[in-house]
Structure 1
Amino acid sequence: MKPPPFDYHAPVSVDEALEALAEAGPHGKVLAGGQSLIPLLNMRLVAPSQLVDINRVGELDTLTADAGGVRVGALARHATVERSAEAAAVQPLLRQALALVAHPVIRNRGTVVGSLVHADPSAEMPAALALLGGSVRLARLGGEREVAAADFFIGPMESAIEPGELAVSAFFPALPPRSGTAFREVARRHGDYAVAGMAALVTLDEDLRIVSARVACVSVGPGPVVVDVSDACGRRPAASVPWDAVTAAVRDRIDPDEDIHATAEYRRHLTGVLAERALKDAARNAVTEAAHE
């Protein structure tokens, strides 16, 4: 398989990259990790006339963590973020999610921001960003804008990035006090896309009762499906939560498709099972976090 012909650009600064993208308009594509784009090119599912390779733009290879959250630059590789103790301390869901992304060789090259822009509904990073209420920073000639996760994922393989724009970073807010996160998924083989997946975030009060609980479902909609199940948890300790009501609330919010890997009904059932497991994991992690305060 060979990609269709294209003009190749190799900018060394953000400004050069934005100029190339502005000139290319809707006919341009950005190459960062390439773990999604290269197969699409080789199978001729996409045919851009202009390819802008940003791998020489060193200012995009950044990863910063502070009390507010973690900002991941467009060239930060999955593996770099996964291995960062500073990022994991501020937002542990990043490491939990990235450990499930494909295989190590893919994580060594693929980028977090690239995965977000690709907007695959079966991918882990869009679910993590959506659950945490994060955002993506988009730049173009003349300015930039910050797009919230709720507005960024438009549909399957479709994000809010417009022609001429470059996703320069993504922001993942810090873990709130007395909170815990978890990520669970089921795949046919480890490293495959999830048949169904679940990210969870639980926050406790001083008496270790659940005051906030949310999940982001993977592979059961056109994008990550975020469900608030705080009311269903009923401000109880995790050990006394009515999990049947919680999982029912999650299953009622999803509309999975059937494909060669699973029926819609199996995905719905599996999503409920994963929701309970991920929420229990997140609650346990929240208790541990509260003990360290």
Structure 2
Amino acid sequence: MQIDGHTRLAAVVATPIKHSISPFIHNYAFDKTGINGVYVAWDIPESELEATLANVKRYDMFGINLSMPYKRIVTQYLDELDESASLTGMVNTVVNKNGKLIGHNTDGYGFFASLPQEFDLKGKTITILGGGGAATAISAYAAQNGVGKINMFSKAKYLDVTIERQGRVAEQTGTRIEIFDISDKKQIQEKANDADLLVNANSVGMDGISTVVSADMVFKEGLLVADVIYQPFETPFLRLAKAQGATTINGLGMLLFQAAEAFRLWTGEMMPTAEVWQALEEKYKSEN
């Protein structure tokens, strides 16, 4: 990678963000594609978010990625939102297009791009464990792309917010979405039995010990099971499903493919995902 007077900058913005793997992914892609760019991580307080967006224009950056807690509040500083960002109310990618800042949400695309190619979303039933940002992005993308039904499980204290947000998705897409309390393990089992895809879209399991489902959870034959978590590489949730013969997918693919879509939006070029995936697998398997 050579930095010169023509090098353009991209960044991920959040707090905390020093742990982010995004610089590894994007700088690897810049290097492999020969695009003159550099990607860094900016840990900034909320008070500096508006100025940060202004600097994207000022320094003619490709754009930025955003993580929590800025995915929702950043929308007030943007010139335009694409359909995915409008539907979810969240932005994870900002594109600087000729001085206009356009917000996108590539998380839902990234998740479904990480699934086996033979999985056809149209008409399917999916059950999502979690009602936060990842869950919202997944449900919105599914609703936009022909899913038959969505069952979503949220924490009791967030049920009203989840019902409101998913109500907007249902209204705008015509998709049937039902919301349940995530503490109801019996209901989780019932809705998993109805589903073609079961997704853990919350942080439970990042400790490598806990799981959002009961220890005697039964995963029906043919159920595809996914987790948005990628560290640990295999969560207790996925381990339980895998032990019963289910096909399991961790969150590393979602991380890669949401980044690949951001890369395409910024540069117009395709990220060499196969090469990046191999590097990521080697990195994370070695750390687990």
Q: State the TM-score, normalized to the length of structure 1.
A: 0.26
Choose between structure 1 and 2: higher helix proportion: 2
